[in-house]
Amino acid sequence: MDAPAPRTFDLIEHSNADHARTVLVDWMLGNGCSYACSYCPAALHDGSLRWQPAEAVLAFYDRLHRHYVHHRGRRVWLQFTGGEPTMHPRIIPLLEAATERGFSVSLISNASRTLRFWQRIAPHLDSVILTYHNEFAELDHFRAVGRLLAERMPVHINVTMRPDHFDRTLAEARALREAMPSASITLKPLRVDFDDVLFDYSPGQLAAMEAGLPATGPAQGAMPRGTMTAEAAGAPPQRVRANEFVIRGENRWQGYLCNAGLESLRVKGDGSITRAVCSVGGEIGRLGGEIALPAAPVTCTAGTCACVADILITKVRPAARR
């Protein structure tokens, strides 16, 4: 079976209007991790960066509140990543301080910490993205954490699909599907070094990932992002999942006007700050220093929009600007 032909869209916008007013801050607190997955570059898990100081984190919370909430009426949604963000030594006070400021908070986690820890922090979370890495994760523990959280908040599960362990991983993903009917699950295609080249999947594996494992129950709350609605001249608007853009090779928007920096920010592990994961527009400041928060969209200069968080940002093709 051949891969479907890429489509060109004039406008890619959030299907949900709340997502369009949400500034999603992808925030890497450090690079320590409890795992060392074979497909993960060392810089993302080797602990070579110090965890960011709590004082600098809290000062940036206040900047974000002033710029986006107070002046622009937007909602700030912090999404902490690592490494494994739950390993930050001050993670509990940082989560409490975010709640005090009215921010929404998500964690992207491998779920490896104890059930007791997750019970303690659950009141400060609005959603979680749990990634199931079966080179290290234990299915029963992951399932228990996922169930605990899915009773209280939306849970999205990424299952990383190594092509050489595909069938076993798919069976485990189905077990997670059965245990957490309300969770959304992505069968996540892996990219070499987390860059833009996909691992060597068979057409059948690509089709299985594109078909996914749809949720069978209602989620308990809101997520900061969902699907996009894509428009092209002469065709009805269509809902598209981030994964579909990647699998069809459509995630190339050089020259488009992009709301990176208005709907998104990225704080890297070393404290540098950019509009989005792609770094288009360059560094806009550093934690603990001067930061010029954006007030206008940016023209995309990247060859590929490689990251799911970046794909889920509003984009307009210049010729199609209204």
Size of the site for ligand SF4 (CB under 6 A): 26
Question: Which one among 30, 83, 154, 269 touches ligand SF4, defined by CB under 6 A?
Answer: 83
Beta strands in 175-281 (DSSP E): 184-189, 228-231, 238-240, 257-258, 264-267, 272-274
CB of residue 76 vs ligand SF4: minimum separation in angstroms? 18
Question: Which one among 14, 133, 156, 225 touches ligand SF4, defined by CB under 6 A?
Answer: 133
**For residues 43 and 31, is the Cβ–Cβ distance under 8 A?**
yes
In the window 190-209, what residues touch ligand SF4 (CB under 6 A)?
none
Question: Could you identify the residue written with the tokens 């963000």?
Answer: 85
Question: Which one among 302, 308, 316, 317 touches ligand SF4, defined by CB under 6 A?
Answer: 302
Encoded one letter per residue, x for contact with ligand SF4 by CB under 6 A and - for no contact, window 33-52 reads: x-xxx--x---xx-------
In the window 103-122, what residues touch ligand SF4 (CB under 6 A)?
110
Torsions phi, psi for 74 (to 5 deg): -90, 170
The enclosing H or E element of 128 equals strand 127-132
How many CB atoms are closer than 10 A to CB 300? Answer: 23
Distance spanning both ends of the chain, measured CA to CA: 38
The alpha carbon of 134 is separated from its chain's Cα centroid by a whole number of angstroms, namely: 19
246 binds ligand SF4 (CB under 6 A): no
Torsions phi, psi for 106 (to 5 deg): -125, 160
Residue range at the interface with ligand SF4 (CB under 6 A); choices 57-65, 121-129, 179-187, 250-258: 250-258
- List residues binding ligand SF4 (CB under 6 A): 33, 35-37, 40, 44-45, 82-84, 110, 133, 253, 256, 258, 260, 276, 278, 280, 298, 300, 302, 305, 310, 313, 315
